[in-house]
């Protein structure tokens, strides 16, 4: 999923990049107190930044996640098969034989039954990894990030899996692993990881930002669900670019134009992403 130059793909939303944003991805927060990115011997520091492979427009965003469609009898059969207890080991990374099954749920990920599977598993996963190690040596981490930044998402995911086997409770590594899955279009697997992170630490902002992306992909136009996560993230990180942009986008969609404009002013001044385009946008529902 490399960056695309296409704009205007979905009406006025096409050039807005609500998810300017797939992440607080590969650059991560250095002040995460609960889950440090360092070992005593080899400290590694990070700062919030824009995922280098963030989607350029809404068309790319939706296509990346797989097309949604109604359920069918074959979907029901897949949903009734054992998942996810038989699919995950101690590191909470899906076993190879389960990847295809998770991907098969992608087109119906908006269904309540799928979401119940995801959230139920997330709670179990958070409890399972809560007491596990969260420190690691940084050499392989650097390799994984290099693969990710080069757009080699499958290889990056494989390296993140090795890192998670070493440190299952490492928040930033699991977040990056979820990001790689998102870029590969594996939304169900990615959401499982991010929901588990949110259960593990409700104040971990990168997971909140990336969950906002997945919610938009699964329920486009469901402003209440998406805005709730965006506003919660804003309370925790009110000066972080992707967080502010998401909140402003949601407020504009809810026709809260003046408050959205206030959020956008510093982003426009800093030439952040397409904040100026969003500031000038008009919304038919608000006329």
Residue 90 has pLDDT above 70, yes or no: yes
**Domain for residue 4, yes or no?**
no
29, 45, 53: which is closest to 236 by C-alpha?
Answer: 29
Which two three-digit tokens encode residue 285? 């529902």
Tally of structural domains, the chain: 1
Identify whether the C-beta of residue 278 lies closer than 8 Å to the C-beta of residue 14.
Answer: no
Let me know if residue 110 belongs to a domain: yes
**Residue 103 binned pLDDT confidence (cut-offs 50, 70, 90):** confident
Domain boundaries, position 67: 11-286
Full-model pTM: 0.79
Percent of the chain scoring above 90 in pLDDT: 30
Domain annotation covers residue 5: no
Which CATH number fits the domain that encloses residue 149? 1.25.40.10
Mean pLDDT of 215-241: 87
In a domain, 152, yes or no: yes
239-253 pLDDT, tens digit each: 998 899 889 888 988
Q: What is the pLDDT of residue 271?
A: 84
Quote the DSSP letter at residue 194.
H
What pLDDT does 57 receive? 54
Residue 221 falls inside a structural domain: yes
pLDDT at 274: 76
- 88 - beta bridge partners? 94
Residue 66 within a domain = yes
Distance from C-alpha of 142 to C-alpha of 159, rounded to nearest angstrom: 10
CA distances from 189 to 11, 47, 202, 251 (A): 30, 26, 19, 29
| pLDDT (average), residues 254-274 | 89
**Stretch 54-59: mean pLDDT:** 54
**How many angstroms separate the CA atoms of 128 and 7, rounded?**
43
Residue 235 has what pLDDT?
Answer: 96
pLDDT-derived band at 139 (thresholds 50, 70, 90) equals confident
Higher-confidence residue of 177 and 10: namely: 177
pLDDT range class, residue 53, cuts 50, 70, 90? low
Is residue 266 assigned to a domain? yes
Q: Sorting pLDDT into bands at 50, 70 and 90, what band is 233?
A: very high
What average pLDDT does the structure give for the chain?
A: 76
**pLDDT tens-place string over residues 151-188:** 999 999 999 999 999 899 999 999 999 999 998 888 99
Cβ neighbours for 192, distance < 8 A, ≥ 6 positions apart: 84, 102, 118, 121, 122, 125
Q: pLDDT class for 51, splitting at 50, 70, 90?
A: low
Query: What span, in angstroms and rounded, lies between the C-alpha atoms of 196 and 123?
Result: 6
21, pLDDT greater than 50: no
Average pLDDT over residues 204-222: 86
249 vs 77, higher pLDDT? 249
pLDDT of residue 49: 40
Q: Tokens in use for 55?
A: 């989607």
- Predicted pLDDT at 43: 32
Specify if 3 maps to a domain: no
What confidence tier does 92 reach under pLDDT thresholds 50, 70, 90?
confident
């Amino acid at each position: 999923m490399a960056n695309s130059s296409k704009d205007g793909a979905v009406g006025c939303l096409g050039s807005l990049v609500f998810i300017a944003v797939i992440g607080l991805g590969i650059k991560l927060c250095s002040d995460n107190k609960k889950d440090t990115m360092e070992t005593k011997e080899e400290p590694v520091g990070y700062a919030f930044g824009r995922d280098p492979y963030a989607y350029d427009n809404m068309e790319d965003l939706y296509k990346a996640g797989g097309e949604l469609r109604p359920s069918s009898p074959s979907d029901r059969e897949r949903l009734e098969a054992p998942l996810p207890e038989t699919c995950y080991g101690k590191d909470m990374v899906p076993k190879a034989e389960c990847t295809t099954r998770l991907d098969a749920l992608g087109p119906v990920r908006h269904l309540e039954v799928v979401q119940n599977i995801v959230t139920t598993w997330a709670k179990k996963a958070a409890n399972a990894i809560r007491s596990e190690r969260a420190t690691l040596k940084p050499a392989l981490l650097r390799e994984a990030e290099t693969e990710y930044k080069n757009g080699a998402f499958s290889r990056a995911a494989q390296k993140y899996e090795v890192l998670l086997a070493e440190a299952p409770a490492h928040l930033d590594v699991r977040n990056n692993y979820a990001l790689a899955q998102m870029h590969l279009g594996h939304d169900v697997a990615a959401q499982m990881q991010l929901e588990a992170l949110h259960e593990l630490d409700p104040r971990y902002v990168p997971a909140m930002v990336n969950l906002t992306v997945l919610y938009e992909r699964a329920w486009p136009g469901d402003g209440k669900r998406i805005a709730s996560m965006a506003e919660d993230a804003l309370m925790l990180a009110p000066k972080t670019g992707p967080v502010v942009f998401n909140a402003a986008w949601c407020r504009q969609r809810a026709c809260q134009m003046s408050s959205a404009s206030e959020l956008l002013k510093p982003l426009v001044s800093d030439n952040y992403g397409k904040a100026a385009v969003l500031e000038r946008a008009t919304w038919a529902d608000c006329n």
